[in-house]
Amino acid sequence: MISAGEFRKGVTIEIDGGVWVIVDFQHVKPGKGAAFVRTRIKNVITGNVLDRTFNPTEKFPRAMVERKEMQYLYNDGDLYYFMDTETYEQLPLSRSICEDAINFITENMNVTVSFFKGSAFSVDAPNFVELEVTETDPGFKGDTATGAIKPAVLETGFRINVPLFVNQGDRIRIDTRTGEYMERV
């Protein structure tokens, strides 16, 4: 059990049969009245986000979320296949479970799959990935000092804005948490 006064970012708890992760929290001690904990929590299964206030003495059971490194193999229609790197078992997951990560992963890339009570609920790509630019307009010579950007399509089909000096065929590093260009590799 964990009390609301001990909440920190990333802690997973069970509330009303659902599994929630603490996205943001703030301990508030007003001049009058009792202290409270203001939180933003996200349901790890459905993705719903709630702003909720708790009494610091309220207690909740910790949700035991298992994270396992797996390798993305391929997709077949609406199913995406991942392989456990230790047991070599293949796990098919629906697009809704891996939707956030699928824009950034390529075949044979290692990802983190999260499980709750034996069933997978999310796939997380590495924080930074290197992908090839497959389609973009050519930049104009000498137009690099303005910080201008142009659209580009990556090998996964994801659309991103890149600086003008990035060309088709270049490999670039992307922050998967924000979906933004970091640097040319």
Residue range 87-127, pLDDT digits in tens: 999 999 988 888 888 999 999 999 999 888 888 888 889 99
- Domains within the chain, CATH numbers bracketed: 2-60 (2.30.30.30), 66-124 (2.40.50.140), 129-184 (2.40.50.140)
Instruction: Convert the chain into a string of H (helix), E (strand) and C (coil).
Output: CEEHHHCCCCCEEEECCEEEEEEEEEEECCCCCCCEEEEEEEECCCCCEEEEEECCCCEECECCEEEEEEEEEEEECCEEEEEECCCCCEEEEEHHHHCCCCCCCCCCCEEEEEEECCEEEEEECCCEEEEEEEEECCCCCCCCCCCCEEEEEECCCCEEEEECCCCCCCEEEEECCCCEEEEEC
Q: How confident is the model at residue 144 (pLDDT cuts 50, 70, 90)?
A: low
Whole-model pTM: value is 0.75
